[in-house]
Amino acid sequence: MAKRILIVDDAAFMRMMIKEILTKNGYEVVGEAQDGKEAVVKYKELNPDLVTLDITMPEMDGIAALKQIRQHDPNAKVIMCSAMGQQAMVIDAIQAGAKDFIVKPFQADRVLEAIKKIVG
């Protein structure tokens, strides 16, 4: 069965890029969200195998959303995404429970490598 993935990014273009990479490689995109609040609601609703989560978003940022998702499901598998390769944000994300971190612009092989490592 295809792994079910939730894509979270405030930029529709970025969601489209990730979705294309994933669907071409046999993953099922079960939902999309454009901010952290929506991400938490959709996670509870869809129960995906994995979430790709942007850090910098309006309403609720990715780190706050990650913490709420992991409160709901301590085993949640989340990969953080950010255009900023800021060391502090990477560390915050990992400490909050992110399994990996990918930097924009996305390299398809790096996205797939991160996902395969986490959900197979």
Residue 25 counted as domain residue:
yes
53 and 76 Cβ atoms separated by less than 8 Å? no
Domain coverage including residue 18: 1-53+65-73+105-120
- Confirm whether 99 is domain-assigned: no
CATH of the domain at 24: 3.40.50.2300
Tens digits of per-residue pLDDT, 15-40? 999 999 999 999 999 999 999 999 99
Task: For residue range 30-89, list pLDDT tens digits in order.
Answer: 999 999 999 999 999 999 999 999 999 999 999 999 999 999 999 999 999 987 666 788
Question: pLDDT tens digit string along 88-115?
Answer: 888 899 999 999 999 888 899 999 999 9
Helix spans in the chain (H): 12-24, 36-46, 62-72, 87-95, 108-119
Total domains in the chain come to 1
Q: What CA–CA distance (Å, rounded) separates 21 from 109?
A: 9
**pTM, to two decimals:** 0.94
Q: Does the residue 98 lie in any domain?
A: no
In a domain, 97, yes or no: no
